[in-house]
Structure 1
Amino acid sequence: MATRYWIVSLPVQSTTSSSALWTRLQEQISKNSFDTPLYRFNIPNLRVGTLDSLLALSDDLLKSNTFIEGCSHKIRRQIEDLEKVSGVNSSSLTVDGIPVDSYLTKFVWDEAKYPTMSPLKEIVDGIHVQVAKIDDDLKIRIAEYNNVRSQLNAINRKQTGSLAVRDLSNLVSPEDLVNSEHLVTLIAVVPKYSQKDWLSSYETLTTYVVPRSSKNLHEDNEYAIYTVTLFNRDADNFRTKARERGFQIRDFEYNSETQESRKQELEKLMQDQESLRSSLLNWCYTSYGEVFTSWMHFCAVRLFAESILRYGLPPSFLSVVLSPSVKSEKKVRSILESVSDSSNSTFWKTEDDGNMGSLGGEADAHPYVSFTINLI
């Protein structure tokens, strides 16, 4: 699928017709750049209004196009990210079941949604408001999804981080602990290189340690966790002595209710994440179609307005869509210029008027209206 297109309007002179110009352009493209797809871009007769209104509108066209195009790309990227995370096979995006490139190359104006008798500014403002609403909704939905993801990531970090900081609840069982009126079991985090030192010294760190009570529960790349049982009254003193030897005593108390609550919280967050991801992906599919449809109608209005400002009234121009390869661009530009009104070519190529080629802000000047759209 081509992803980069030119939308172009060529002036139709009084001595010819749009059909004749279309045939001539087809012949030239077929003869000199046969690998360049070429399509008609059908724009209805829109309401022109006054010259002042067109000039005022042209000032907003580029800014609005940047925003609408940006929203389209943002949703597309979100879809790609969600499909990747969900393990969904990425497929070509569609607009009402039509591939996006086909929607562009076979564009049909939606009269019901955008009445042609409406002022151009009203159509443009309506498109901008609609896309802005979708953009705001996207931000809210992404924030909600990312909030749940962040909570899950925080839990996972606790579950998988270093033994010095991670949650120990799934590593320590009730059978590993002694907790009575006089005895208590502490959890020691011992650097792996200090395990021999721990085993040879923990019984003598303080007076009231139960001999041979230390048991290795788990190890990671840096640390091992050991239990040690001693008299309650000696616990604080043992913590101090252990710290002096480079051993960390983790505060830990096993609570079955807390453990069950954490498990339920984790399961709920995972369900919420999956639900929000699925909902967001489906919403993105739908909203991408709405934004893309709005964008193409905006491009039609933009091309119409710029063509009127360039060629004058009454509207008389041929609108086309092309997708030349990078190596064919210069050749296609030359073809487009050759079928345009040659009397204007020199004027539009002068340095003094270099940026007048397209009032929408295209960098290159041409004797015809042209701008580029990127589908991705």
Structure 2
Amino acid sequence: MATRYWLVSLPVQSSASSLWSRLQESISKHSFDTPLYRFNVPNLRVGTLDSLLALSDDLFKSNSFIEGVSHKIRRQIEELERVSGIETTALTVDGVPVDSYLTRFAWDEAKYPTMSPLREIVDSIHVQVAKIEDDLKVRVAEYNNVRSQLNTINRKQSGSLAVRDLSNLVKQEDIVTSEHLVTLLAVVPKYSQKDWLTSYETLTTFVVPRSSKMLYEDNEYALYTVTLFARVADNFKSSAREKGFQIREFEYNPETQESRKRELEKLMQDQETLRSSLLQWCYTSYGEVFSSWMHFCAVRIFAESILRYGLPPSFLSVVLSPSVRSEKKVRSILEGLCDTANSTYWKTDDEVGGMGGLGGDADAYPYVCFTINLI
């Protein structure tokens, strides 16, 4: 699939079919590797010259917005597919691949009546795409909120022993709790484990001999238990800190652990549901935005062609996808098919660059041309 197309209109001097045949012949002869298609623009309502000029001022900016939303949804799809580990799906519009929809474009009269003013059609497209963008923001924010909560929990469960949640590392049998005794959890640097095992019984009085047991270790620390009389726990903590051992505050509570487990399972389920729902919504919405974008491009090429070539409307609009090395050759062909006087008038120095078209594009060519980037 090509990812970059030119949408071009050429002024018709005699008949559109004759110009189309000459263009096909020239492309086939001089740039045969350039795909070429007709882009069928209906007879839209022209309105007044003033209304066309006013519309022209807005079309470039609106096109950038609609194109931006299209790319934003596509990127969201790519991210969701990557996270889900599913194979990349070819994007479609009403079941048709996006590049085929562009190269075989047909105006949807039911959705956009051709007798409607151009401003009304453009505003309708803009409003629809803006609503889809707003929906995207809300759905992505909801999905990202659940992802953020899960990431926070995962960091707590997979981080260093100095900061991570210990509830899934400690079992009920590891903890001694009675009227007088208490079990503390010590985070010991791995290089200090020998020091811990030889000194913990003497860090304060009333420490239960041989009560320390290692529960877990990571790359930096080891987690040990120690049992002692509750009334000397504060003294033990102070002495442990002085020797570089961290005593983690921890209270074993089966109900809390079960609640956290249920919360984690629910968040994982919510994330998967939201991800699947968002992905399906993006597939559908991308098709809607792309269809709206192509209708917008049809209005844009129509309006610009009227402003460039005058009335009555007499132009041939086509879609091409030249390779980088063929661009100059194709531009030469297109220019050769334009009126000679007109060509001289519009031709500029090579330094001008850019695409002839609306808004901020430079009018560097004697024909109307702007780029459609699918990605």
Scaled to the shorter chain, the TM-score interval is: over 0.9
**Which of 138, 141, 145 lines up with 2:139 in the alignment?**
141
**Which of 250, 262, 265 lines up with 1:264 in the alignment?**
262
**Which of 69, 72, 75 lines up with 1:74 in the alignment?**
72
Tell me the residue number matched to 1:2: 2
Matching of residue 220 in structure 1 with residue 194 in structure 2: no
TM-superposed deviation, 1:185: 0.5
Tell me the residue number matched to 1:375: 374
TM-superposed deviation, 1:87: 1.6
Tell me the residue number matched to 1:317: 315
SS in 2 for 1:134: helix
TM-superposed deviation, 1:349: 1.3
Q: Deviations over 1:168-227 (max 9, x none)?
A: 111110100100001000000000010011011100000110111100111000000100
Kept in 2: contact 1:348–1:357 (CA 8 A): no
Q: Superposed, which structure 2 residues align to 1:165-204 within 5 Å?
A: 165-204=163-202
Tell me the residue number matched to 2:11: 11
Change (3 A) 1:357 1:170: closer
Kept in 1: contact 2:66–2:129 (CA 8 A): yes
Q: Superposed, which structure 2 residues align to 1:247-258 within 5 Å?
A: 247-258=245-256
C-alpha distance in structure 2 between counterparts of 1:196 and 1:83, whole Å: 49
**Which of 59, 62, 77 lines up with 2:60 in the alignment?**
62
Tell me the residue number matched to 1:331: 329
C-alpha distance in structure 1 between counterparts of 2:355 and 2:231, whole Å: 87
Tell me the residue number matched to 2:105: 107
Kept in 2: contact 1:362–1:370 (CA 8 A): no
Q: Deviations over 1:259-302 (max 9, x none)?
A: 11000000000000000000000000000000000000000000
TM-score, length-normalised on structure 1?
0.98
C-alpha distance in structure 1 between counterparts of 2:172 and 2:355, whole Å: 79
SS in 2 for 1:155: helix
C-alpha distance in structure 1 between counterparts of 2:258 and 2:265, whole Å: 11
Matching of residue 275 in structure 1 with residue 269 in structure 2: no
Change (3 A) 1:161 1:50: same
Matching of residue 365 in structure 1 with residue 346 in structure 2: no
Query: Which letter maps to 1:328?
Result: S
C-alpha distance in structure 1 between counterparts of 2:252 and 2:5, whole Å: 64
Change (3 A) 1:198 1:140: same
TM-superposed deviation, 1:85: 1.1
Tell me the residue number matched to 2:241: 243
Kept in 2: contact 1:306–1:360 (CA 8 A): no
TM-superposed deviation, 1:48: 0.3
TM-score, length-normalised on structure 2?
0.98
Q: Deviations over 1:76-131 (max 9, x none)?
A: 01111111111211121000110000000000000000000000000000000000
Tell me the residue number matched to 1:208: 206
C-alpha distance in structure 1 between counterparts of 2:125 and 2:348, whole Å: 35
Give the paired residue count: 374
Query: Which letter maps to 1:137?
Result: D
SS in 1 for 2:37: strand
Q: Deviations over 1:310-349 (max 9, x none)?
A: 0000000000000000110000000000011111111101
SS in 1 for 2:87: coil
Change (3 A) 1:30 1:303: same
Compare 185-194 and 359-368 and name the one that shifted more: 359-368
C-alpha distance in structure 2 between counterparts of 1:91 and 1:268, whole Å: 28
Tell me the residue number matched to 2:122: 124
TM-superposed deviation, 1:364: 5.7
Kept in 2: contact 1:189–1:226 (CA 8 A): yes
TM-superposed deviation, 1:356: 9.7
Kept in 2: contact 1:358–1:369 (CA 8 A): yes
Tell me the residue number matched to 2:95: 97
Kept in 1: contact 2:355–2:369 (CA 8 A): no
Tell me the residue number matched to 1:154: 152
Cα RMSD over matched residues?
A: 1.4
Query: Which letter maps to 2:45?
Result: R
